[in-house]
């Protein structure tokens, strides 16, 4: 299974904002102590595998990277934000089933 890349406050601009001009980037905002975040992880790995070449999936630990989390108003985790063309295009909060995640992001993968 593909492991989503890990991004930080320092790499976010390049790895997410700039990269989303080439292909959409799904960011999973999470924390090591968050049970629902851990339950979501295998689902995101499956999506990363299935969408190779169409979608980049990355993870950002909100405890280690408070700057970006604050900038995008992350109050609950897990929160997923899909970035496209340098901007947020969709957002899901909580441990969502794979079908729900795909129903939100698939229309934006073009």
Q: Which residues are catalytic?
A: 34, 37
| Contacts for 89 with CB less than 8 Å, ≥ 6 apart | 24, 82, 83, 108
Length, in residues, of the chain: 110
Of 89, 79, 74, 69, the C-alpha closest to 12 is 69
Distance CA 89, CA 87 (A): 6
Q: H or E segment at 84?
A: strand 79-84
DSSP code of 4?
P
């Amino acid at each position: 299974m593909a492991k989503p890349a890990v991004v930080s406050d320092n790499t976010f601009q390049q790895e997410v904002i700039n990269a989303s001009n080439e292909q959409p980037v799904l960011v999973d905002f999470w924390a090591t102590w968050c049970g629902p975040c851990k339950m979501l992880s295998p689902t995101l790995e499956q999506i990363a595998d299935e969408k190779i070449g169409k979608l980049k999936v990355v993870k950002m630990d909100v405890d280690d990277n408070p700057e970006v989390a604050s900038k995008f108003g992350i109050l609950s985790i897990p929160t997923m934000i899909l970035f496209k063309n340098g901007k947020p295009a969709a957002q899901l909060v909580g441990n969502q089933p794979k079908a729900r995640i795909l129903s939100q992001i698939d229309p934006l993968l073009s």
